[in-house]
């Protein structure tokens, strides 16, 4: 087994419970880590023998564009979409950071980490 990691993908999105979060939005940083068999790709040097990074990125981007109240929901939905598209993935982990969450004080980010 091996891992493919798309690190620190950055999106402006509109997730949140508060009304202003749905209007203003904020920055989200997403890292997606998948585990799969990359042996064949390491031997053939063919894109068809691996998981295309662009397809993974597109899934994350699409899920980030769908508004949700909770980043936990976004993270879970994204993992399910990745696993549905690529059943050969043995596991996937998402790290989803919400920059500057409105908590009444300074905080760089709130983050959820989920695996499937």
Q: Where are the alpha helices (DSSP H) in 53-109?
A: 53-65, 71-85
For the annotated catalytic residues, the residue numbers are 98
∠ Cα 63 5 70 (to 5°): 30
State the pLDDT confidence band at 103, using cuts at 50, 70 and 90.
Answer: confident
Q: What pLDDT, in 10s, does the model give residues 16-59?
A: 999 999 999 999 999 999 999 999 999 999 999 999 999 999 99
Angle of the 71-85 helix axis to the 53-65 helix axis, nearest 10? 140
| CATH assignment of the domain containing 99 | 3.30.1130.10
Boundaries of domain holding 26: 2-115
Tally of domains in the chain:
1
32-66 b/e (C-beta count within 10 Å ≥ 16 → b): bbbbbeeeebeeeeeeeebbeeeebeebbeebbee
pLDDT above 90 (res 102): no
| The total number of residues written for the chain in this structure | 116
pLDDT above 90 (res 70): yes
Helix (H, G, I), strand (E, B) or coil at 102: coil
CA distance 99 to 45: 38
């Amino acid at each position: 087994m091996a891992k493919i990691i798309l690190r620190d993908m950055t999106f402006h999105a509109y997730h949140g419970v508060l009304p202003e979060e749905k209007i203003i939005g904020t920055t989200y940083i997403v890292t997606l880590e998948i585990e799969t068999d990359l042996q064949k790709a390491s031997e053939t040097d063919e894109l068809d023998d691996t998981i295309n990074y662009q397809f993974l990125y597109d899934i994350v981007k699409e899920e980030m564009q769908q508004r949700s109240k909770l980043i936990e929901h976004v993270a879970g939905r994204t993992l399910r979409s990745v696993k549905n598209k690529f059943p050969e993935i043995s596991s996937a982990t998402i790290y989803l950071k919400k920059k500057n969450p409105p908590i009444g004080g300074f905080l760089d980010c709130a983050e959820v980490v989920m695996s499937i």
